[in-house]
Homo-oligomer: A and B are copies of this chain.
Amino acid sequence: MWEKGVANSIIMKELEDASSQDYHFCNGKVISSMCTKPLDIAQEAHSRFIESNLGNAGLYPGTLDLEKQVIEEIGQLLNGSNIAGGILSGGTEANITALWIARNITGKKKVIFPKSAHFSFHKACDILAMESVMVELNDNYTIDIEQVEKEIDDDLCAIVGIAGTTELGAVDDIQALADLLPEKAFLHVDAAFGGFVLPFIEDAPKYDFSIPAVSSMTSDPHKMGMATIPSGALLVRNRDWIRNIHKEAPYLDMIGQLSALSGTRSSAAVAATYAAMRSLGRDGYVNLVKECMDITGYALEKARKLGLEPVMEPLMNILCLYVPEPRKIQKELSKKGWKVSVAQNPESLRLVIMPHVTRQSIDGVFAELEALL
């Protein structure tokens, strides 16, 4: 190991060198990430609460109160009342925890989810020793309800629906899943991305706690919520369910650690989430999402002028375009500093129009794209 400490000036220089190799949202060329530059006030809140650790909540009653408020507000945003939950490290931990709860309560192991589900569900089923049943999609890229119906049997633990798929931003028919759900099975909705988009879009499909069968939801403040990483909310309809996965830690200052997969929790992001939500309010998010959707529309227009068609009309601020050899195009764009991604189902060039992506960004990437085609 490094034997002797070095001066801060040397360390900062080394960190600057490392940082210069990273991509930064502020340059507007990252059009592939579902994260974005957090609000300044969120970053300030994060720094202010850098020590905070709700894994040892007895020391942090102030932060715990912020978490309660944030969960209450997100619960309301998702049309629930008296919703329980917590801020975890992200959508993956929230999804794993939701299935962990469902498995322990039902005592069953079969999970049905669409092919479009985030890869965290494969991870969750591996970790939790559950059986994953992946269902094909309809023509509109949402879960095939008839196939789901065929897979339902006595082993069913949970059905998962996606409100804003990672690749396309499609929203499964949650009401149809609810209508099929056997009495004791769970219905988990992954709105990791959609949870801070769909509530602010007019005529969005119904996907949330307004559907009584929805048991739990994932919604990530560190994506479109404008908070810092790590902030992924798990919301559950019944507070008692959380107790089910609780483990005692007698040495902690508060008996009854909020049950989560993690022990120590980076709760600076709880304060950051509070700050972002207070700063924007519903009105602020409506404007933010409208601007992202406008720019998404602008990008789609540009694409059509180049003769490119979208996989589907964007419902959210994700645009997937059919292009010849998308991997090759992704690589070429990357050489010019533009980061876009490639969706697999179907194979297409994927642009995520986050708040740091401006019209100028779109002009820039489409100019490159035109030259390449």
Q: A328: CB under 8 A from chain B?
A: no
Contact status B126-A104, CB under 8 Å: yes
Q: Are A53 and B229 in contact (CB under 8 A)?
A: yes
Most chain B CB inside 10 Å of its own CB: which residue of A44, A266, A271: A266
Asked whether A243 is an interface residue with its Cβ less than 8 Å from the other chain, the reply is: no
Q: Does A89 contact B (CB under 8 A)?
A: yes
- Quote the shortest CB–CB distance from A212 to chain B (angstroms): 20
Give the docked Cα–Cα distance between A136 and B256 (Å). Answer: 24
A321, chain B: closest CB distance, angstroms = 14
In whole angstroms, what is the CA distance A275 to B13 when docked?
11
| A262 touches which of B35, B45, B92, B128 (Cβ 8 Å) | B92
Establish whether residues A52 and B22, one from each chain, have CB atoms under 8 Å apart when the complex forms: yes
Asked if residues B60 and A344 are in contact (CB atoms below 8 Å), the reply is no
Interface residues of A in 230-282 (CB under 8 A from B): 230, 232, 245, 247-253, 261-269, 271, 274-275, 277-282
Verify A51–B77 contact, CB threshold 8 A. no
Q: In the docked arrangement, what's the CA distance between A65 and B22, Å? A: 10
Does B6 contact A278, Cβ atoms closer than 8 Å?
yes
The residues of B that contact A4 with a CB separation of less than 8 Å are 281-284
Q: Is the CB of B266 within 8 A of A269?
A: yes
A139 within 8 A of B: no
Q: Which of A25-33, A149-157, A176-184, A295-303 binds B?
A: A25-33
Contact A35 B6 (CB under 8 A): no
A-B contact pairs, 26 of them (CB 8 A): A1-B282, A5-B279, A5-B283, A5-B284, A11-B275, A15-B275, A21-B62, A22-B60, A33-B56, A38-B50, A38-B51, A50-B229, A89-B262, A89-B265, A91-B264, A92-B264, A93-B263, A100-B127, A119-B249, A127-B127, A128-B128, A129-B129, A222-B264, A229-B266, A232-B264, A253-B341
Shortest beta-carbon contacts, A-B, top 4: A21-B62, A92-B263, A18-B62, A129-B129
Q: Which residues of A contact B (CB under 8 A)?
A: 1-6, 8, 10-12, 14-15, 17-25, 30, 32-33, 35, 37-38, 41, 43-53, 55-56, 58-63, 65-66, 73-74, 76-77, 89-93, 96, 100, 104, 118-120, 122-123, 126-129, 166-167, 199, 220, 222, 228-230, 232, 245, 247-253, 261-269, 271, 274-275, 277-284, 339, 341-344, 350
